[in-house]
Amino acid sequence: MSGGGKGVSSALALSNAITNLAGNSQILPCSSSTFMLTSVFGEQSKLEPMSQKRKERWRKEIDWLLYVTDYIVEFVLAQQKSKDGTNMEIMVTQQRKDMLMNISALKKLDAMLIDCLDNFQDAKEFWYVSKNADESEKGVQRSDKWWLPTIKVPPEGLSDTSRRWLQYHKDCVNQELKASMAINAQILAEMEVPENYTESLPKNIKFSTLKTESPIVIWKRKMHQKDAKSSWVPAVSLEKRELFEERAETILLLIKHKFPGIPQSSLEISKIQYNRDVGHVVLESYSRVLESLANTVMSRIEDVLYEDSVAQDPSLAIAKWNPSANSSPQQPLSGMSTPKGGESDMLSFAAETPTSMTLSDFMGWNMEQGEEDIKKNHSTGNLEAFCQR
């Protein structure tokens, strides 16, 4: 786990180990000295429970990897009574606050997702056709999800009870997805922007208009730049720059919630790659693999509901299906190489819409209301309330 020699840092080696254990996204390459694990989750192609062996292995090995967080501590004041009865203040160690709150929250989300899959053990109103079955038995397979097994439902569709039951589980998994995304976004925001990423940015913001995150970093640097002779001298008012920054961050957050399976941006990859805080790395990688699993489970539930709707109305099979973010093979959530176009691209989304539509129209949100809702729904306070349920 040292990542010594020509390998990677201890923090990155730990991130790779957690990602490798889950096995549902690409990881940063490791040296031969790095501790490597084979996947447990893999590709969850069906709504079915994990085998007991896989569950036990996941719990045992993730506990090993999380064990290091017990020793990430901070000093806090505490009261101690001396032998003569007087009270005195002393410094004691306790687990760092972000570890204390988020590790327990992620463990709870982990257990809830596995329990959700266990609930599909007795599902009898839908089933999956074997790959070796006849073409007539398989029927028409969806071209947008050709790699997944074909789902079959009764000719008249699911019963109302089963349909409500599936919708209930979809809503539950959606809440778990939002919670894991909130933790992941919070941890990534706390990570420092690497110097090499900052140095690679153009000093003039007009050359960064094709990317959303680059202007945010540039605006922040301009607002905090103290050197009056720097080429980063502000050209617009501080209030406007802060407003632009908030709106860009809100757009990024909305895009990530609209398309939860999109790859990480080059800034996020750079933060993970060069981060040296082991605590942040553990929280980021653990929340990321849970986010990926939750997104996969929700997509599989949507597939069953789609087949049910087609059984009730066959004309829907020819209608254009709007695939979720997990409709294509899993994209890497983290990788050593920075893919071109890895960042969220506002203009590419706008180009696919009619010219009369604005970005706000495309996303379906009001600027002021959208910013307020995002802050309200994804605050740390609401996350704590979720974890206390």
Give 176's pLDDT tier (boundaries 50, 70, 90).
very high
Reduced to 3 states, what is the DSSP secondary structure of residue 91?
strand
Residue (of 211, 324, 305) closest to 259 by Cα position: 324
Sign of CA dihedral 108, 109, 110, 113: positive
Asked if 338 and 266 count as a contact pair (C-beta separation under 8 A), the reply is: yes
Residue 25 inside a domain? The answer is: no
Asked if 246 and 253 count as a contact pair (C-beta separation under 8 A), the reply is: no
Residue 74 inside a domain? The answer is: no
Sign of CA dihedral 299, 300, 306, 312: negative
The residue that leads in pLDDT, 371 or 109, is 109
Q: What is the mean pLDDT of residues 365-372?
A: 48
C-alpha–C-alpha distance, residues 118 and 49, integer Å: 4
Exposed, middle or buried: residue 176 (CB in 10 Å: 0-12, 13-18, 19+)? buried
The residue that leads in pLDDT, 146 or 306, is 306
Of the ranges 272-276, 280-284, 310-314, 332-336, the best mean pLDDT one: 280-284
Asked if 261 and 250 count as a contact pair (C-beta separation under 8 A), the reply is: no
pLDDT given for residue 136 in this prediction = 61
Which residues lie below 8 Å from residue 23, measured CB to CB, with a gap of 6+?
38, 39, 40, 41, 42
- pLDDT digit string (tens) for 65-106? 999 999 999 999 998 888 888 899 989 999 999 999 999 999
Asked if 337 and 30 count as a contact pair (C-beta separation under 8 A), the reply is: no
Q: What is the mean pLDDT of residues 24-33?
A: 41
Residue 198 inside a domain? The answer is: yes
Q: What percentage of the chain's residues is helix, strand, coil (to nearest 5)?
A: 55, 5, 40
Cα dist. 30→36, 333, 337 in Å?
A: 8, 16, 13
Q: How many domains does the chain have?
A: 1
Reduced to 3 states, what is the DSSP secondary structure of residue 81?
strand
Q: Give the start-end residues of each E strand in 7-86.
A: 73-81
Can you give the pTM of this predicted structure? 0.70
Centre a 10 Å sphere on the Cβ of residue 103 and count the other Cβ atoms it contains: 20
Q: Which residue has the tokens 């039951």?
A: 165
Percent of the chain with pLDDT over 90: 30
Q: What is the mean pLDDT of residues 2-30?
A: 69
Asked if 186 and 380 count as a contact pair (C-beta separation under 8 A), the reply is: yes
Residue (of 12, 320, 377) closest to 142 by Cα position: 320
Q: What is the mean pLDDT of residues 36-48?
A: 69
Structural domain of residue 372, as residue ranges?
A: 96-387
The mean pLDDT of the chain is 73
Element (H, E) at 77: strand 73-81
Residue 67 inside a domain? The answer is: no
DSSP per residue, 129-160: --TTS-HHHH-SPPGGGTTSPPEE--TT---H
pLDDT given for residue 149 in this prediction = 84
Give me the phi and psi of 92, to 5 degrees please: -125, 165
C-alpha–C-alpha distance, residues 10 and 2, integer Å: 5
Give me the phi and psi of 94, to 5 degrees please: -145, 160
- pLDDT digit string (tens) for 311-334? 888 777 655 444 444 444 444 334
- pLDDT digit string (tens) for 106-148? 999 999 999 999 999 888 889 888 776 666 666 666 667 777 8
pLDDT given for residue 169 in this prediction = 95
Both structure tokens of 211: 């990317």
Q: Which residue has the tokens 């463990």?
A: 107
Q: What is the mean pLDDT of residues 274-289?
A: 93
Residue 34 inside a domain? The answer is: no
pLDDT given for residue 83 in this prediction = 85
Residue (of 67, 296, 91, 68) closest to 177 by Cα position: 296
